[in-house]
Amino acid sequence: MANLRMCPHCRAFVDSSERICTECHEPLGRTYAQRVTAGAALAGLVPPTHFTTIIILLINGALFTATVLLSMQRSGGGVWAVNSEVLYYFGAKESLSILTQGQWWRLVTAGFLHGGLLHILMNSWALYDLGAQTEEAYGTARFLVFYLASSVAGFAASTFWSRALSIGASAALFGLIGAMIAFAQRHRGSLLGMAMRSVYTRWAVYGLLFSLIPGIDIAAHVGGLVSGFVLGYLAGPPGPNRAIEWFWKAAAVIAVLIVAVSFLLAWASFQPLT
């Protein structure tokens, strides 16, 4: 997809090289990446538009490393396939534990775990681009809320669909795809909006077709996609209303706290594996 930016006047996406919005013909200021001074994001090593996404990727990577190391210690898994007992210990989605033992936090923690190197690499590749695009469209606060809410909704759907262990960032990824389809739908009258809807709809269709492969949690993907679309359409992009923007900032802080509390509960609920 082309490198796009959002017009602050009409909220349409235009090519980042444009200096005049092709939709409303208002002059465009500098992009977010251009406004950030050199070295502002990890000494300049991380593109500013990817900063929030990189933080999520680092969390996923750290948890993946921890699960792989513990799997190797137990001689029941490794980098290509993490031990299922280890994943359960770290907070994988498991229906009976959620429904009968009240371990709701698994709906949160499952979205940050991965079952093998190929699994995390595929999700990380998709998140690196999709996360930056969604944050550019909706802002950091909405992006964080969409990411967590879509992941939770996806694993909630999976809880009632299958008793199998389920993990991965793909529920959240489908939520971001849904949010971008919703954004395009809001701009359906423009050529760029139609183009965006075509791009992200193809992402959704290809992803859902891939989800038909046995062993892939299609319920989590569908739940994430639907919730992301609904949230994106209802929320809309950032606007001039300060009260609404403060609401989303507060919601983002709450989302981060929920993630932290969920992993604390996961840690507190089990003794270390022997």
Catalytic sites, residue numbers: 170, 221
Q: How far apart are CA 268 and CA 253, in angstroms?
A: 23
CB 223 within 8 A of CB 153: yes
Q: Is 268 exposed, middle or buried (0-12, 13-18, 19+ CB in 10 A)?
A: exposed
Q: How far apart are CA 83 and CA 69, in angstroms?
A: 10
Nearest to 170 by CA among 213, 225, 94: 225
Q: How far is CA 104 from the centre of its chain?
A: 19
Nearest to 142 by CA among 57, 15, 244: 244
Would you tell me how many other CB atoms lie within 10 Å of the CB of residue 250? Answer: 12
29-37: list long-range contacts, CB under 8 Å, 24+ apart: 31/5, 32/136
Sign of CA dihedral 189, 21, 30, 10: negative
Q: Which two tokens stand for residue 171?
A: 């529920």
Torsion of CA 260, 272, 171, 261, to 10 degrees: -20
